[in-house]
Chains A and B, each alone.
Chain A
Amino acid sequence: AQSVTQLDSQVPVFEEAPVELRCNYSSSVSVYLFWYVQYPNQGLQLLLKYLSGSTLVKGINGFEAEFNKSQTSFHLRKPSVHISDTAEYFCAVSVLSNQAGTALIFGKGTTLSVSS
């Protein structure tokens, strides 16, 4: 069965510093990988996704992630964060169902706190 592990539950950083949010997954088959962001009291918004092709994926708001198949990782990075990046970030992997298409399995989330 697929699973997702986000290695840090909280990441505090100062504004304009770089940040990396780590995500590892386990799966016996090929997967699709996603990062979502959730701002306080809001729903989830897709940051970026890896389906195939280039292992470096660029998303919205200056975020990027690199798919590493040998290390089963999909870490999220941003070279310079802003206060407005403060949010919870979720890594997710797709799951194929024999019967009903695909679903997502989420990690437990990483809270990114950016301070000045």
Chain B
Amino acid sequence: NAGVTQTPKFQVLKTGQSMTLQCAQDMNHEYMSWYRQDPGMGLRLIHYSVGAGITDQGEVPNGYNVSRSTTEDFPLRLLSAAPSQTSVYFCATQGSPYEQYFGPGTRLTVT
């Protein structure tokens, strides 16, 4: 039982490049979300989803796309990376009642 897994652990991109951060869970949780963590800013919600085909925007959705085709996977896409997207990204699932389980994070640097 791996819980929440994220790949890659580290990534360096050049401005304008695109990439997908992967998130997978084996807990059969319907709810999944993406956060970014920046120094002094805490965690800010990017997008979230309650199941296949249903997503919603969080506090900071601009520059990010998501889709949810399966219960297990919730990828986060950066279509054209910018230096302002340099951050640590966390994926989370929500069990019952309302407890969220976080992945280990992806550290992204955009140069």
Contacts and interface: CB of A to CB of B under 8 A. Distances in A.
Interface of A: 6, 9, 32, 34, 42-46, 49, 51, 90, 92, 94, 97, 99-109
Contact of B100 (A51, A104, A107, A108): A104
By size class, the interface of chain B is 20 to 34
Q: Across the A-B interface, give the 10 residue pairs with the lowest CB-CB distance, nearest first.
A: A101-B50, A100-B56, A108-B42, A100-B50, A106-B42, A106-B43, A43-B102, A44-B102, A101-B31, A103-B48
Interface of B: 30-31, 33, 35, 40-45, 48-50, 54-56, 58-59, 90, 92, 94, 97-100, 102-105
A92 B35 CA distance: 13
Contacts of A92: 43
Given A100-B54, A101-B30, A101-B48, A32 B42 contact: no
A97 B48 contact: yes
Contacts of B45: 103-105
